Amino acid sequence: PWTFWSYGVAAFALSAFSLLVVPKQLAKEAQFAGVTNVPGFDWTGSALGVIGLVLVNIAFNNGPLYGWSTPHVYFVLIIGLLVLVAFLWVERRAESPLLPVSAFNGTVTYTMALIGIGWGSFGIWIYYSWRFLEEFRHLTPLNVSAQFTPALICGLIAAGATGFMLTHTPVSFTMLIAMLAFCAGQAISAFMPVHQTYWPQMFVSILIMPFGMDMSFPAATVILSNHMPREHQGLAASLVNTMVNYSISLALGIAGTVEVSVMTHDGTLADTIWGVRCAFYTGLALAGCDVLLGMSYFIKSMIKEGWKVAQH
């Protein structure tokens, strides 16, 4: 539990520290000095959006623990969905909406789905890979951390490659490569045996996954910026970031449901391994679906625009 408590304390400390380091020129009063039509803050939409997302998240992650037939699980899910419907209703009528529904077109929605499915697969990979190494290969947390350090180097390479690709290839191609990386890394981990050294599969998977992460985020931000109205383009990175974090949490609830559903709960190691393996398969299924969606988007963009480098 202290993993989460320590993160919460650090986040709170950074929030307080931001009051000291963020320039006052960025404050609302400074930005809109002399402006008569100052945009307001959507308090109602913010409250409904946060409450709805939290309730749905609680339901999805309580399902594996208590079972989806437990009344409080599906009751919380229903309430959360109703709150999100109310959120959309409010946003359509708000003067300064937190999430302008009118800015969502087919491309924006499709890209959000790509990001959500891809990063959901990544969330399953990172959690169950760590658990696989600790529980089944009996490695210490520090040892597992050391095994993941190659991701740092590959992340730097992927970030540099992404900058090059976004200026020399269509952004849909960059997104497709990211989806392929998610799928490849997930597939390698899903089928690795327990009694195996680090290098044949886990190491390779860790080398590949950063390309999915570091390519998909900027590619999605560019796509959203280019397909949203000018007055809403600043929302692009915020939407992508929200989808990334929320999809990771939601997908873990789905994988957890699969894990507990396929297990016989006889207490054997083989049963536990099978549950984790099926959770990996869930992530692989999501990643495979994402590859098909990414390929469809790439083909569609090629037919419509050809090999066109996006302006950003």
Residue type, position 244, single letter: V
Residue matched to tokens 């974090």: 245
Residue 131 to residue 141: CA distance in whole angstroms: 10
**Lookup: tokens for 230:** 């000018």
| Domain residue limits, the chain | 38-99, 102-312
Per-residue model confidence as pLDDT tens for the chain (312 residues): 888 899 999 999 999 998 888 777 766 555 556 666 666 788 899 999 999 999 999 999 999 999 999 999 999 999 999 999 999 999 998 888 888 888 888 899 999 999 999 999 999 999 999 999 999 999 999 999 999 999 999 999 999 999 999 999 999 999 999 999 999 999 999 999 999 999 999 999 999 999 999 999 999 999 998 888 877 777 888 899 999 999 999 999 999 999 999 999 998 999 999 999 999 999 999 999 999 999 999 999 999 988 888 765
Global pTM value: 0.91
For the chain, the three-class secondary structure string (H helix, E strand, C coil) is CHHHHHHHHHHHHHHHHHHHHCCHHHCHHHHCCCCCCCCCCCHHHHHHHHHHHHHHHHHHHHHHHHCCCCHHHHHHHHHHHHHHHHHHHHHHHCCCCCCCHHHCCHHHHHHHHHHHHHHHHHHHHHHHHHHHHHHHCCCCHHHHHHHCCHHHHHHHHHHHHHHHHHHHCCHHHHHHHHHHHHHHHHHHHHCCCCCCCCCCCHHHHHHHHHHHHHHHHHHHHHHHHHHCCHHHCCHHHHHHHHHHHHHHHHHHHHHHHHHHHHCCCCCCHHHHHHHHHHHHHHHHHHHHHHHHHHHHHHHHHHHHHCCCCCCC
Fold for 102-312, please state it: Growth Hormone; Chain: A; (1.20.1250)
Does the CA dihedral 283-285-288-294 come out positive or negative? negative
Give the pLDDT of residue 167.
92
